[in-house]
């Protein structure tokens, strides 16, 4: 279960599943900002781990600055953006900062505190039961 604190409280998760030992949750810090749809963007965002004193349970804090964004600064042919018509408005898009993988545990929630202008997304990673052999040649 993922619990977000900050701008609002959100819960999500799959609950108990078989093979939890072979699973991880990737937390991705970032924000929804205006982009041009062509360039690659990255922002300065961090995920810091803390511990609830007296209990020992972990929590994570997402911090960042939405004004500190780097991009590739590429344009389309003729100075216009290739993927959008010239009349198309700019759109908000999730721009990633840093990410962190934590173990999947359906019995404990993953508690994340986010700044008001930041967001945290997640991916669930699963390990395949059978390992593959590398072929020579």
Please give the backbone phi and psi of residue 52, each rounded to the nearest 5 degrees, phi first: -70, 115
Q: The domain containing residue 117 runs over which residues?
A: 2-69+82-126
- Mean pLDDT, the chain, integer: 80
Average pLDDT estimate for 65-77: 80
Task: Tell me, yes or no, whether 134 lies in a domain.
Answer: no
Do residues 115 and 62 lie in contact, with contact meaning Cβ atoms separated by under 8 Å? Answer: yes
Q: How many domains does the chain have?
A: 1
Task: Tell me, yes or no, whether 89 lies in a domain.
Answer: yes
Task: Tell me, yes or no, whether 74 lies in a domain.
Answer: no
**Which pLDDT does position 76 carry in this prediction?**
55
Is the pLDDT score of 6 beyond 80?
Answer: no
On the 0-12 / 13-18 / 19+ scale of CB atoms within 10 A, 122 is middle
What CATH number corresponds to the domain at position 23?
2.60.40.550
**Which pLDDT does position 20 carry in this prediction?**
85
Task: Tell me, yes or no, whether 77 lies in a domain.
Answer: no
Task: Tell me, yes or no, whether 58 lies in a domain.
Answer: yes
Is the pLDDT score of 124 beyond 80?
Answer: yes
Query: Mind listing the pLDDT tens digit for each residue in 91-100?
Result: 789 999 999 9
Do residues 65 and 44 lie in contact, with contact meaning Cβ atoms separated by under 8 Å? Answer: yes
Average pLDDT estimate for 110-116: 88
**Which pLDDT does position 36 carry in this prediction?**
80
Is the pLDDT score of 10 beyond 80?
Answer: no
**Which pLDDT does position 1 carry in this prediction?**
52
Is the pLDDT score of 13 beyond 90?
Answer: no
**Which pLDDT does position 87 carry in this prediction?**
47
SS3 (DSSP) at 108: coil
**DSSP output for 112-131:** EEE-TT-EEEEEEEE--SSP
Task: Tell me, yes or no, whether 136 lies in a domain.
Answer: no
Rounded Cα distance between 40 and 45, Å, is 16
pTM recorded for the entire structure: 0.76
Task: Tell me, yes or no, whether 113 lies in a domain.
Answer: yes
Beta bridge partners of 122: 27
Task: Tell me, yes or no, whether 100 lies in a domain.
Answer: yes
């Amino acid at each position: 279960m993922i619990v977000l604190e900050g701008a609002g409280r959100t819960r999500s998760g799959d609950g108990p599943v078989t093979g939890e030992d072979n699973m991880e949750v990737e937390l991705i810090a970032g924000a929804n900002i205006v982009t041009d749809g062509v360039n690659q963007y990255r922002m300065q965002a961090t995920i810091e781990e803390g511990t609830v004193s007296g209990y020992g349970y972990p929590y994570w804090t997402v911090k960042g600055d939405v004004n500190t964004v780097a991009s590739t600064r590429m344009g389309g042919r003729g100075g216009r953006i290739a993927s959008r018509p010239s009349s198309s408005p700019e759109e908000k898009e999730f721009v990633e900062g840093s990410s962190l993988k934590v173990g999947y545990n359906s019995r404990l929630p993953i508690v994340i505190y986010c700044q008001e202008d930041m967001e945290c997304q997640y991916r669930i990673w699963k390990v395949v039961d059978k390992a593959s052999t590398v072929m020579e040649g």
